[in-house]
Each structure stands twice: as C-alpha cells, then as structure tokens.
C-alpha cells in the first residue's frame, strides 16, 4: 500500500516472531528473508 501511494521511505517492522525466544537474539536468516522481500517489493 505504501509503495503504491508513493511513500519515499518505508521502515519495516521487525516482528517479535523473528526473535529467538530462548536466547533473545534476532534470527539473522529471518532478517535476510525480510530484506529480500522488501527489495522485491520495491523493485516492481
């Protein structure tokens, strides 16, 4: 929706599901996946 509306800057929300519940660390592979999804969306 934001891309279609012409928004210049989009800051993705990093969901708590990306956080490892046992260690409290952010799962880097999930962040990489999110980044790939964002790049695909912005390069329509």
Q: Are 30 and 18 in contact (CB under 8 A)?
A: yes
pLDDT for 44: 62
What is this structure's pTM? 0.65
Where are the domains positioned within the chain? 1-44
Report phi then psi at 37, rounded to 5. -60, -40
pLDDT tens string for the chain (44 positions)?
888 899 888 887 777 889 999 999 999 999 999 889 888 988 86
């Amino acid at each position: 929706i934001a891309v279609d509306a012409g928004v210049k800057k989009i800051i993705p929300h990093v969901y708590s599901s990306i956080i490892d519940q046992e260690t409290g660390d952010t799962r880097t592979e999930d962040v990489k996946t999110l980044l790939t999804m964002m790049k695909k969306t912005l390069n329509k």
